[in-house]
Amino acid sequence: MPAQAIASGLKMAVSLLIIVTARNEQARLPSTLTALAEAFPGASLWVADDCSTDATRRIAIERGAEVISPDSSLGKGGAATLAARAALATVADPDATVVVLCDGDLGESAGRLDALVAAVSAEEADLAVALFSRKTGGGFGLALGFARFAIRRRCGLRMSAPISGQRVMRANVLAQLLPFADGFGMEVGMTIDAARRGLRVAEIEVDLSHRATKRTLRGFVHRGRQLIDFVRVYRARGYSRRVRIDHSSG
pLDDT tens for residues 191-231?
999 999 999 999 999 999 866 665 576 765 768 899 999 99
pLDDT of residue 2: 40
First-to-last CA distance in the chain? 10
Q: How far is CA 101 from the centre of its chain?
A: 4
At the fourth CATH level, the homologous superfamily of domain 3-136+161-211 is Spore Coat Polysaccharide Biosynthesis Protein SpsA; Chain A (3.90.550.10)
* Residue 144, pLDDT score: 94
Domain chopping of the chain, boundaries: 3-136+161-211
Beta strands in 97-173 (DSSP E): 97-103, 127-132, 167-170
pLDDT, one tens digit per residue, over 227-245 is: 999 999 999 999 654 444 5
Find out whether 134 and 209 touch, Cβ atoms under 8 Å: yes
Q: What is the pLDDT of residue 67?
A: 98
pLDDT for the residue 221: 77
Q: Are strands 97-103 and 127-132 parallel, antiparallel or unpaired?
A: unpaired
Cα separation, 148 vs 143, whole angstroms: 9
CA 106 vs. chain centroid, Å, equals 11
Which residue type, as a one-letter code, is found at position 43?
A
Read off φ and ψ for residue 202, nearest 5 degrees. -130, 130
CA distance 172 to 244: 22
Q: Which residues of the chain have pLDDT under 70?
A: 1-14, 134-140, 210-215, 217, 219-220, 222, 239-250
Residue 44 host element (H or E): strand 44-49
Residue 223: the pLDDT is 81
